[in-house]
Amino acid sequence: MRFNRVDRFATSAALFLMAGLCLVLIQSGCDFRPKAPSRLRILFTSDTQGNFTPCGCAGGPRGGIERRSTAIRRARETAPGSVILLDTGNFTTGLGSEAERFKADYVARAMAELKYDAVNVGRMDARRARLGVHAYDREGFPLTSAGYTYNDEQTAERRFSYSTRIIVDVQGFKIGIVGSPLDELDKSDLGFENEPTVRWDELAEVIDDVSVKDAAGLNILISDLSVPLQQASIAASRFPLAGIVIAGESAPNEYVEERSGADISRPILIPRAASWGRSLGVLDLTLSPQGGITSYHIEYVDLNESIEKDPVFAAMTEEYLAALEKAGLSKVPEVREAGYTGSKSCQSCHPREFDSWQTTRHASAWATLEGSGRIRETTCVPCHTTGYAGTDSMPERLVPYELRGVGCESCHGPGEVHMAYQKWKIYGELTGEVRGEDLTDPIVRTPPERTCTACHTPPYDEGWVYRIKLDRVFHD
């Protein structure tokens, strides 16, 4: 068939118009992929470290799965658009005791039921997997990490599986989530010689693949990296294809940030939520049709006593505490030092000091533990008693009544030898006789900082300062 000049002109014009239309579509961002949701809410938690129940003393116990569930439900109900739920890592402590195994298992179970979209494998989780006592292969528990691989040292068999990326589909729009520790694998810390699947300096390639091969319109990098935000910002700047990086030191509860337009950096660096799972990060995004972030607002929900407990997880808490109590009984440490007599034995000689002590929070430490519902939490009991602070765990039923609470001997040392010394000294002064025993008074008048920091340390007591707090409990 022959084309005349008019036909050829019409055909060329049609092709030119079609090419122009395609160019306009491409330039306008119409790459034939589904449009991004106009609003997206990202919820995230950090460093649960096995704390199924609330944790903390100063300022009241915070966190706990029961409150977390309520906060997540509220955030989902009030979201202006779609919601995804993430965890930046360290949902376990990385320790190998039986009690810690129960903690890890229950936290993983709870996070699966809360329907997390992605959970990063932090360093503590890596240690836990190396111990081989928990594989985290629970259905519905989506782990991701670009940095770790776990093979049995004896058989070389794979013991732990995860994905280097997780793709979340939101109304057809794909969001890529990559988990990483964002620094070099510390073999000495992990205790084995396995090489990482992807080193952090190769992470950009993973994010490239998520953008190109997986066709993700928005990439989110989640990390357990806990460094000042300036250092985290330097690390984040190496991944320009990541729209959001959640990393760095935890943000205080009052932290709020809101940006739009040219004020938005790429990638956006978002501080992690409070350690020990004590807050919930809420990041609201406004997206362009192609997935670009046009504005965002970040704030943190303090999981304090004002948030009611979810009854479903309250029942699971009871189950957890019963299992934890049973597990803790198998490995109960002995009291490190004998000779504790209880604060009542100090009252007759030191009535003024005893009365002063009764007005402090130390005296009510046991009642605080009871009031918070953690009386059966074996890892909490030692710091709320006298003579047990150096132990790892202690069931409350094994703590003598007179040693419940942080008493005089917690700061000044065991009283039994002190009382024997005073009797020897007084007897010798009265009679002039020299006693044969070589006694010295073991009592410490002003406790050193290390005595206090056995318990007063983050996250139990944030912002604790020795000199300031010592003045508050000082007595003549």
pLDDT at residue 307, as a whole number? 94
Q: CA 59, CA 36: separation in Å to the nearest integer?
A: 41
Question: Do the beta carbons of residue 436 and residue 367 sit within 8 Å?
Answer: no
How many CB atoms are located within 10 Å of the residue 88 CB? Answer: 29
Write down the pLDDT at residue 331.
Answer: 47
pLDDT digits over 228-241, tens only? Answer: 888 888 888 888 88
Annotated domain spans of the chain? 1-32, 39-314, 333-472
- Is residue 394 helix, strand or coil? coil
pLDDT at 134: 46
73 close to 67: Cβ distance less than 8 angstroms: no
Strand 143-144: give its sheet, edge to edge. 143-144, 118-120, 82-87, 39-45, 279-287, 293-302, 257-260
pLDDT tens sequence for the chain (476 residues): 444 554 554 555 554 555 455 445 445 545 556 899 999 999 999 999 888 888 776 666 789 999 999 999 999 999 999 999 999 999 988 776 677 778 888 898 999 999 999 999 888 887 766 554 445 556 778 888 887 666 666 666 655 557 888 999 999 999 999 998 765 545 555 545 455 566 666 788 889 899 889 999 999 999 998 888 888 888 888 888 899 999 998 998 899 999 999 889 889 999 999 988 999 999 999 999 989 999 999 999 999 989 999 999 999 988 888 887 776 544 444 544 568 888 888 888 888 888 888 888 888 888 888 877 677 777 788 889 888 877 777 778 788 888 888 989 888 888 888 887 777 776 665 555 655 555 677 788 888 888 888 888 776 776 777 777 777 677 66
Angle CA(388)–CA(275)–CA(90) in degrees, nearest 5?
Answer: 90
- Domain 333-472, what fold? Flavocytochrome C3; Chain A, domain 2 (1.10.1130)
CB atoms within 10 A of CB 390: 11
The answer to whether residues 337 and 389 touch, using CB atoms and an 8 Å cutoff, is: no
Strands (E), 274-405: 279-287, 293-302
pLDDT in tens, 300-338: 999 998 999 999 999 998 888 888 777 654 444 454 456
| Predicted pLDDT at 136 | 58
Is residue 54 reached through a cis peptide bond, with omega within 30 degrees of 0 on the bond before it? no
Which pLDDT value is given to residue 159?
Answer: 56
Cα–Cα distance for residue pair 46/247, rounded to 1 Å: 10
For residue 55, what are the β-bridge partners? 62
Please list, in sequence order, all residues whose beta carbon lies within 8 angstroms of the beta carbon of residue 46, skipping any fewer than 6 positions away.
Answer: 87, 88, 89, 90, 224, 250, 272, 273, 274, 275, 277, 281
Name the CATH superfamily for 39-314: Metallo-dependent phosphatases (3.60.21.10)
